[in-house]
Amino acid sequence: MLQASTILQKTDLDIEPDFEEQLAELLALCHEHLGSVDEDMLRRSFRLSYWAHRNDWRASGERYISHPLQVAKIVAKDIGFDDISVAAALLHDVVEDTELSLDFIREEFGETMATIIDGLTKISGVFESRELGQAENVRKLMLSMATDIRVILVKFADRLHNMRTIEALPKEKQLKKASETLDLFAPLAHRFGLFSVKSELEDLCLKVLNPESYHEIVQRLEEMAEEREAYIAAFTKPLEEHLREEGFEFDIYGRVKNVYSIHRKMKRKNQPLGEIYDIFAIRIVLQSDGKKGKEDCWRVYSLITDLYKPLPERFRDFISVPKSNGYQSLHTTVLGPKGRRVEVQIRTQEMHEIAEKGVAAHWKYKEGVGDADREMDQFLDWVRDLLENPEPERATEFVKEFRLNLYDEEIYVFTPMGDLMTLPSGATPVDFAFKVHSEVGMQCIGAKVNGKMVPLSHELKSGDQVEVITSKKQTPNPDWINFVVTHKARSRIRHWRNKQRRETADLGREIWEKKADRASLEVSDQDLQDYAHELKFPDLQQLFYEIGSGLYEADELVQYIKKGHREDEEAAEREDEDALREKYEKFLDTAQTTGKQALLINGELQTDIAVNYAACCNPIPGDEVFGFVSKTGTINIHRTNCRNAPDLLTNHPDRILEVDWSRQKDIQFVAALRLMGEDRVGMVNDITTVISKNLKTNIRSITVDTEDGIFSGTVVLHVSDLEHLRRLMERLKRIDGIHGVYRFEE
């Protein structure tokens, strides 16, 4: 077995002068940007990497050692975390690509280094395989960052250098690597606060994926450079004079936005570069920190707005409420010379370093990963929560959700006690409830925003104060999945929904077994599986689920088996979709007109046909609905937002009919309302008076539960149409103490 000391002490290890110079440059960068530097560890790491890669060459024709050296320089200069991460950068490929083992690294450099190198080795194949493998590789990436944050930091540097030298690869590989970088590594760098790394990765990706747009923007920026510099000078000159008069120590300069962000803005606004006003920003970096630094930022803001007219709607205070990656700065947009809009960013030197280097700067200022920062801990908690989701998800959904959460814009809301919470833009009270605690989310029945009751789908805004109303008897509504945006809320709702689906299937099996016993049928699961396939159910579980949810009657299955329709159904299976559709249309055409009830089906008025209004969603005239043709020819009418609609529309498109309400004569429909509010004497009497006496509506049943001064109840009643139901809801909302009235399906 190779001994570390043998390699590291070899006198005949002939290191080329150029690489000796690069090692010296690396050590100088470490002393400039890192808090402490173990030169001996770094030299040993370099010598080992040089020896391990002695026979390796890059696609560009360079010695392979040039790559780990450049990666280490990026870690030292652009990320600036610590000397262990720089040493790991030098060694990041040795276990994967050479004869050295992980035990070898552990023996020479210790357990921490071995853990980092092991993490880097495991995630080296991210996105190499297809969907399922892709999701698994993303999980590996997340696991590694949750174990030691230096793994992902070194990986950023590795990817950045690979993108800088990507021209040496075949075009197909360039496109693949650029796509995965833009898809995953750039947004991850954004989430970690590594602005400079993220911006360069995006530009390099655009250069590969859309070279025409990249070069066009670069050329136009160069053409506009002289005019832009003159304008920046005219804008900053009076500002500099005022700042000096007030005794500030500062740096001020104009920063052109990265090419990719300009490209994205041009596409989003569908405008040429000449019409995009905010292609640069003025940045003021103050040489004062701590509490005085924050106060100075506000003083500078006041000076700027004395000179130039501010646009209040464009002001952002990220100092009082930092972004989740730790970013702090004041942003304002003002009208500069010639009436042009100019964005100005005001920050301290410490804020500036955190803005550029993110979590690495937190390490420098807070002296240790353990104290790094609360927001990054929250991000890693999100990573762990995503990994620990108890319900296995489809690969594409998992990866999509992971990526979307990386680039989320953020809002800041408050609990009733005044505690601050960060949520992604578009979040709802349900997302807030799950953020507070999983059980709060599961038992959420309503919410108040700024003291007023709002629907659970209400989109929260920064500054909102949110109060969640819960009930131990409440369970998640599957419809919530359509409007929640956080992973935690989506995964918990999905887990509960799948659990309910399993329980419904178990109920369906129980119903079937009772029906089969009564009919004296003995059918094995294998035979039942065959019958399920003949009836076009994908599997036995789906058959039981539809029986349990009332979508398919167990009696129909009993009759089918008894009457031996097997051969007929085999023939029906051979009918193509058009023939099946024709069969249903002929059935509809033969319906007799009685005038009792009418529906527009596929654009034609149909009367007195075999229609069933699905109990799973209780549709009423005025609802958006569709028809689902059962296997016996009955048309089941479902609301388009029925919990069963996605399954029916996706898996049985050939059995879906377009339905619209035409006219109804003297027909009452079942509807249900969910009410909640304050528990007080006479509340139930007030509710029933409004329904029965004031609005002349028949009540079928009413149930009320009370807990901790809050009541929640369900009223099942008979209505003529949607307008009738809406009038009823509006009148109930006016009852004193009622906080919410919602339509409810059971």
pLDDT single digits (tens) 384-395: 555 555 344 444
- Taking the C-alpha atoms of residue 63 and residue 66, their distance in angstroms, rounded to an integer, is 6
Helices 111-122 and 102-109 pack at an angle, to 10 degrees, of 150
Is 61 inside any structural domain?
A: yes
> Residue 285 CB: number of other CB atoms within 10 A?
20
Q: Which of 38, 97, 534, 555 is catalytic?
A: 97
Is 403 inside any structural domain?
A: no
Is 700 inside any structural domain?
A: yes
Phi then psi dihedrals of residue 381, to 5 deg: -60, -40
- Residues of the chain above pLDDT 90, percent: 21
Q: Domain count for the chain, please give it.
A: 5
Burial (CB count <10 Å: 0-12, 13-18, 19+), residue 558: middle
Domain shared by 687 and 543, yes or no: no
Phi then psi dihedrals of residue 426, to 5 deg: 95, 0
Task: Give the helix/strand (H/E) hosting 286.
Answer: strand 280-286
Domain shared by 587 and 637, yes or no: yes
Is 51 inside any structural domain?
A: yes
pLDDT at 606: 55
Is 691 inside any structural domain?
A: yes
Domain shared by 358 and 224, yes or no: yes
Domain residues for 256? 218-371
Kindly report the CATH number assigned to the domain that includes residue 74: 1.10.3210.10
Q: To the nearest 10°, report the CA torsion of 149, 152, 154, 159.
A: -170
Q: Please check whether residue 355 is in contact with residue 190, taking contact to mean a CB–CB distance below 8 angstroms.
A: no
How large is the average pLDDT for residues 486-490? 83
Least confident of 50-59, 345-354, 595-604: 595-604
What residues form DSSP beta bridges with 671? Answer: 717
Kindly report the CATH number assigned to the domain that includes residue 301: 3.30.460.10
Domain shared by 238 and 149, yes or no: no
Which residues contact residue 576 at a Cβ distance below 8 angstroms, ignoring those fewer than 6 apart? none
pLDDT at 316 over 70: yes
> Residue 130 CB: number of other CB atoms within 10 A?
9
pLDDT at 68: 94
Domain shared by 595 and 683, yes or no: no
Domain boundary residue, one of 635, 661, 687: 661
Phi then psi dihedrals of residue 562, to 5 deg: -65, -40
pLDDT tens digits for range 692-716: 877 788 888 888 887 767 788 888 8
Domain shared by 36 and 151, yes or no: yes
Domain boundary residue, one of 574, 603, 636: 574
How many degrees, rounded to 5, is the angle at CA 170 between CA 169 and CA 175? 90
Ordered DSSP codes for 350-391: HHHHHHHHTHHHHHHHHTSGGGS-HHHHHHHHHHHHHHT-SS
Domain boundary residue, one of 574, 595, 610: 574
Kindly report the CATH number assigned to the domain that includes residue 689: 3.30.70.260
pLDDT at 244: 92
Phi then psi dihedrals of residue 187, to 5 deg: -65, -35
Is 514 inside any structural domain?
A: yes
Note the helical H segments in 210-343.
211-223, 225-245, 259-269, 290-307
Radius of gyration of the chain (CA): 33
Domain shared by 261 and 287, yes or no: yes
Which residues contact residue 279 at a Cβ distance below 8 angstroms, ignoring those fewer than 6 apart? 221, 228, 256, 257, 262, 273
96 flagged as catalytic: yes
How many degrees, rounded to 5, is the angle at CA 78 between CA 30 and CA 175? 135
Q: Please check whether residue 687 is in contact with residue 704, taking contact to mean a CB–CB distance below 8 angstroms.
A: no
Cα–Cα distances (Å) from 598 to 133, 605, 613, in that order, read 52, 7, 13
SS3 of residue 518 by DSSP: helix
CB under 8 Å, gap of 24 or more: what pairs does 555-558 form? 555/515, 556/630, 556/631, 556/632, 557/512, 557/515, 557/531, 558/515, 558/516, 558/519, 558/521
Biggest distance spanned by C-alpha atoms of the chain: 104
Burial (CB count <10 Å: 0-12, 13-18, 19+), residue 306: exposed
Q: Please check whether residue 717 is in contact with residue 698, taking contact to mean a CB–CB distance below 8 angstroms.
A: yes
Domain shared by 505 and 635, yes or no: no
SS3 of residue 497 by DSSP: helix
Is 457 inside any structural domain?
A: no
Q: Which amino acid is at 130?
A: R
Q: Which of 16, 18, 62, 96 is catalytic?
A: 96
Domain shared by 111 and 38, yes or no: yes
Domain shared by 19 and 144, yes or no: yes
pLDDT at 399: 52
Token pair 């080992």: residue: 48
Phi then psi dihedrals of residue 274, to 5 deg: -60, -20
Would you place residue 158 in the very low, low, confident or very high pLDDT band (cuts 50, 70, 90)? very high
Which residues contact residue 211 at a Cβ distance below 8 angstroms, ignoring those fewer than 6 apart? none
Sign of the torsion formed by the C-alpha atoms of 139, 140, 144 and 147: positive
- Taking the C-alpha atoms of residue 86 and residue 68, their distance in angstroms, rounded to an integer, is 10
- pTM (2 d.p.): 0.58
The mean predicted confidence, pLDDT, of the chain is: 79
Domain shared by 355 and 225, yes or no: yes
pLDDT tens digits for range 557-601: 888 887 764 455 455 555 544 554 454 454 444 433 333 345 556
pLDDT at 198 over 50: yes
Is 427 inside any structural domain?
A: no
Copy the structure tokens of residue 408: 């989320």
- Taking the C-alpha atoms of residue 429 and residue 423, their distance in angstroms, rounded to an integer, is 10
pLDDT at 602 over 80: no
573 flagged as catalytic: no
- Nearest Cα neighbor of 126 from 143, 109, 142, 138 is 138
Domain shared by 615 and 675, yes or no: no
pLDDT tens digits for range 433-462: 998 988 999 989 888 998 888 888 899 988
